[in-house]
Amino acid sequence: MSSFNFSQWPPALSDAQLESLTHHAATYALSHGLTYLPPIPTQPPVPSSAIHAPISLLPAPVPRSLFERAQSLQSVYNTLYARIATNDEFLDREMGAEVGAGKADEFVRTLWQGWKEIREEGIAQPLHLGLFRSDYLLHTGGEDGGLGLKQVEFNTISSSFGPLSERAAAMHRYLHALTDYYGVSPDLRPENFPPNNTTSGLANGLAEAHKAYNAKGNASILFVVQPNERNVFDQRWLEYELLEKHSIRVVRQTFDELASSATLNPESRVLQITLPTPPGSSSSPSPIEISTIYFRAGYVPTDFPTPAHYTTRFLLERSRAIKCPTIPLQLAGGKKVQEALSQPGAVEKFFGGPEAEHAKELRETWMRMWALDAPNTPLSLPAEADHKSGEPLGTALARANAMSLVLKPQREGGGNNIYKSDIPQFLETLSPQDRQAWIAMELIVPPAGVGGYLVRAGGMNGGAGALPEKTVRSETISELGIFGWALFGKEKVVEEQGNVGWLMRTKGVESNEGGVAAGFSVLDSVVLVDG
């Protein structure tokens, strides 16, 4: 059992102390780029204002041993997903359009079919780059009654908030240095604030891919971004790091812009970007060769409103540039893959012989999962399935155990899952084919009674003026993300990799979802405690 009493967190602060901390936190965030663009329908070409990101005033407690375990596991996860992304047979089976999740999910199917065509043409670039994030919750539901670490998901595309998480951790260290947090807790000591150098770590991964591309002349890294992106500063910090520390320039483009700016040499497969001619210029800019493509868009169907957007995505995939991620690495992050790995003997196929201990370590972080279309399952669950006619056992088990489950589709970005009491009715809407795109996962049970002080920025009230800062004490759940990167290919499964930092997001217990950009969570950091 953990010796730390989570139900006594956060320590009490007076109204005056909260007001002072909120003022200092907000001004620090704005001064140090812990920011978002304001929530307006269309962002202007040149930003003229910013608001601080949603933040917590006190860091979230995490037992030191579990934090260190999450960090140590990241290199194992990096290797696992590198091996999955280079295993065509496994991905075809689990995510393909013929027998896998792509059979029921149009988005997955379109990506997989495009990748299959490119494979048949011949892959121009054998290397993949992954900037990963493995997300965990503390779990109290173990058989021994102790506190454990359970994985929520593994992110292989647009693993965001690395630079902003580093600045959130720095903000908490600043608040402690300034106020000593008014002496309200003996756990709030400098040695309990772990370092977080995510920005340099992620930039190092991109820089290594750029170097491996081995351009003969100048080349740049392409960031593929969403239009009207509010979380732009999280991306800009990586851009600045690449230029200042590695002398690598970044080009930012949306899929719409790339439709006209991107060209592919049919023989060399070199990708070039031609930027618009600046106003008043008499000559057009020279095309820019792209060494590495970092996708901060392309993970949701709404990023592809027309077939032309998929055509652009596949053009990028056909290039000699190193992709972060490639389509197979993006598919490897699917929830169906997460579920498939949890089945008996599955992950062991990726870690055999002397690496068998790695498979055991990973399994200890997983909750029970199964496919809704599973005809049978070896799971032992609290409620037995009451079959409807023709219904697979996986769906019947999900209905019977709904209050302890979450249903997940093949989606990223938050707001896509189905929880608890909403599950039975939702199951009635699924056709037999639709079930193939969903998995059921037992809910992780975080420590009860833990809370936090959450701050959301004031914004514009429909043109009526600025809303005030709002600090709320709320019962909370905190999700820990560990960042890593890997540069790899089929011939040499992992060229290089790194464990580069962490992210803490905190939300109110009333919210099922966890996305900061989607408005569910705030950016937090970690205070290490005994346990």
Q: State the Cα–Cα distance between residues 118 and 318, nearest whole angstrom.
A: 7
One-letter amino acid identity for 365?
T
417 is in an annotated binding site: yes
Dihedral sign, Cα of residue 253, residue 259, residue 265, residue 269: positive
Q: Of 413, 458, 508, 519, which one is the catalytic site residue?
A: 413
516 is in an annotated binding site: yes
Q: Of 83, 109, 133, 399, which one is the catalytic site residue?
A: 133
341 is in an annotated binding site: no
Tell me if residue 413 is catalytic: yes
Q: Of 78, 83, 150, 153, which one is the catalytic site residue?
A: 153
Q: State the Cα–Cα distance between residues 457 and 35, nearest whole angstrom.
A: 10
409 is in an annotated binding site: yes
Residue 475: alpha-carbon gap to chain centroid:
24
Q: Of 412, 499, 514, 531, which one is the catalytic site residue?
A: 412
516 neighbors 54 (Cβ within 8 angstroms): yes
Tell me if residue 313 is catalytic: no
444 is in an annotated binding site: yes
229 is in an annotated binding site: yes
> Under DSSP, is residue 357 helix (H, G, I), strand (E, B) or coil?
helix
261 is in an annotated binding site: no
133 is in an annotated binding site: yes
497 is in an annotated binding site: no
Dihedral sign, Cα of residue 5, residue 7, residue 13, residue 18: positive
Helix axis angle, 307-318 to 106-121, nearest 10°: 40
120 is in an annotated binding site: no
Q: Of 78, 87, 134, 160, which one is the catalytic site residue?
A: 160
Least Cα distance to 235 among 162, 291, 300, 290 occurs for 162
Query: For 167-265, where are the E strands, in sequence order?
Result: 220-224, 250-253, 262-264
494 neighbors 80 (Cβ within 8 angstroms): no
Tell me if residue 412 is catalytic: yes
507 is in an annotated binding site: yes
443 is in an annotated binding site: yes
157 is in an annotated binding site: yes
158 is in an annotated binding site: yes
452 neighbors 471 (Cβ within 8 angstroms): no
53 neighbors 29 (Cβ within 8 angstroms): yes
151 is in an annotated binding site: no
Q: Of 87, 155, 165, 204, which one is the catalytic site residue?
A: 155
222 is in an annotated binding site: no
Tell me if residue 155 is catalytic: yes
Q: Is 290 exposed, middle or buried (0-12, 13-18, 19+ CB in 10 A)?
A: buried
411 is in an annotated binding site: yes
Q: Of 408, 489, 501, 514, which one is the catalytic site residue?
A: 408
Tell me if residue 160 is catalytic: yes
507 neighbors 477 (Cβ within 8 angstroms): yes
One-letter amino acid identity for 344?
P
Q: Of 167, 313, 318, 505, which one is the catalytic site residue?
A: 505
Residue positions forming the annotated binding site: 133, 153, 155, 157-160, 229-231, 235, 296-299, 335, 408-417, 419, 441-444, 479, 505, 507, 513, 516-517
Residue positions forming the annotated binding site for substrate: 133, 157-160, 229-231, 235, 296-299, 505, 516-517
Residue positions forming the annotated binding site for ATP: 153, 335, 408-417, 419, 441-444, 479, 507, 513
Residues serving a catalytic function are: 133, 153, 155, 160, 335, 408, 412-413, 505
Residue positions forming the annotated binding site for Mg(2+): 153, 155, 412
